[in-house]
Amino acid sequence: MTVANAIEQACPGRRLVYFGDLARTPYGSKSPETIQKYSRQNIEFLLGKGAKLIVVACNSAASVAAEEMRREFQQPIFDVIGPAVAKVGQIVGAASAKATRIGVIGTRATIKSGIYSRKIHELMPDAAVYSTACPLLVPLVEEGWLSKRETKMILRRYLQPLKIKRVEALVLGCTHYPLLKELIQPRIGKQVKIIDSSLEVAVSLREYLARHPEDDEIEREGGSSEFYVSDITEAAVATARKIFGRPIDLVKV
């Protein structure tokens, strides 16, 4: 939902079709095979709703399934990882002649896939990449524990190994983490540049659409947003309202 909201802001007037797999989330602790299967089903659903371009708006799915999905589907598939890595290169790589130190935090599936490390190294072969899985942050965010003492302590524990390595930039490699950015910044260090994978994919999508006016025509049909989910709970309705700043009509499919 944080990504869908960023895309609505960055690409106004488009027809956005959102699907949230709430009946099977979280994905972050599941196996690559299961995440690939779910991603395939989710993309087929969105294509059935007329989507012309897919955004894999979950780092866990992007980590283990996006490349596979690009081989299976013809439509352009965006994910949250490429744009975040490009941003890393832009803000720390180009400016620095010396080897840079980059931190990455994410779910177990994302960190275990090694994809951020691999993609950062493709762009900056001399960078040192330090990654840490932070599996408790998603449940803490979903509980709304955004200013609780325990959340701060857990963050300090997770960030400590990256702080010791004096990372210059930190990638928030999970779409839940931007909600913790205010707590993360002072704990990792004021000077550390934080890269938000949710925001970067929206920026990247806007630029892509500007470069492809032919898609532009097609995609502009409609200009509204539709929100589908595989399960509805009160918590999901409340979260949607909070993230989008308006009541969202979640349709269960």
Report, in Å, the least distance between residue 134 CB and a second copy: 10
| Helix axis angle, 81-88 to 115-123, nearest 10° | 40
136 binds a second copy (CB under 8 A): yes
Report, in Å, the least distance between residue 159 CB and a second copy: 14
Based on CB atoms, which residue is closest to a second copy, 51 or 154? 154
Report, in Å, the least distance between residue 34 CB and a second copy: 5
How far apart CA 243 and CA 253 sit, in angstroms, is 21
24 binds a second copy (CB under 8 A): yes
Place of tokens 């707590």: 183
**Residues touching a second copy, count (CB under 8 A):** 26
238 binds a second copy (CB under 8 A): no
Site string for a second copy, 25-54 (x = CB under 8 A): ----xxx-xx--------------------
Strand partners, 81: none
| Helix axis angle, 115-123 to 59-72, nearest 10° | 70
Based on CB atoms, which residue is closest to a second copy, 33 or 207? 33
Helix, strand, coil content of the chain in percent (nearest 5): 55, 15, 30
143 binds a second copy (CB under 8 A): yes
Instruction: Choose among 54, 124, 62: nearest CA to 92.
Output: 124
146 binds a second copy (CB under 8 A): no
142 binds a second copy (CB under 8 A): yes
How far apart CA 38 and CA 35 sit, in angstroms, is 5
Q: Under a CB-based contact definition with an 8 Å cutoff, are residues 181 and 194 in contact?
A: yes
Q: Which residues bind a second copy (CB under 8 A)?
A: 22-24, 29-31, 33-34, 108, 135-136, 139-140, 142-143, 145, 149-150, 153-154, 157, 230-233, 235
